[in-house]
Amino acid sequence: MRKIRFLFNAFSRVTACVVIAVAVFTTILEPTDTVEAAVLWQIPAVSALCALTCLIYPWDRTLGKAEMGIRTLIHYLLINGIVLGAGFWFHWYRIDRIQSVAVMLITIALIFALVSAVTWAQRAEEAKQMNERLREYQEKKAKGEIMD
């Protein structure tokens, strides 16, 4: 259940960021008057696949810095593979135009950074709340309100 909740949270964050990216893409980078209705299904489908890649990190085992670095790199490459593959399949970009591929790669990098930043900010807020509770817990303990 925790895994499902975790994946759903990841899916929500990725979807939100992809929607923003599509909006920027279709209004600023490659302005278009209309967007196909099919994109409404393509976005969540690709976001779901990207969210699943979070399972590349072990759930219940601690990781060293090197392993974490390698897994993050693999994670990033997997996301590039999924988005470029799906984008090619759904005609989001032209593979024969370097500029089009470059825009896709930059967009993926920006979304990856944005999702990571949002996630980090949420975790930092959680840590702040936990530290407040920890201080309260230890103060109560020092006063003898909580026994050893």
Positions that interact with another protein (CB under 8 A): 2, 6, 54, 57, 59-63, 68, 72, 120, 123-124, 126-127, 129-131, 133-134, 137-138, 141, 146-148
Amino acid letter, residue 85: G
Helix pair angle (39-52, 65-89), 10° resolution: 160
Q: What's the min distance (Å) between Cβ of 13 and another protein?
A: 12
Q: What's the min distance (Å) between Cβ of 122 and another protein?
A: 9
- If the CB atoms of residues 6 and 90 are measured against another protein, the closer one turns out to be 6
DSSP state of 37: T
Q: Is the dihedral of CA 36, 42, 82, 18 positive or negative?
A: positive
Q: What's the min distance (Å) between Cβ of 69 and another protein?
A: 10
Classify 82 as helix, strand or coil: helix
- If the CB atoms of residues 98 and 124 are measured against another protein, the closer one turns out to be 124
Token pair recorded at residue 91: 């005609």
- If the CB atoms of residues 89 and 137 are measured against another protein, the closer one turns out to be 137
- If the CB atoms of residues 33 and 148 are measured against another protein, the closer one turns out to be 148
Q: Minimal CA–CA distance to 9: which of 63, 58, 48, 41?
A: 48
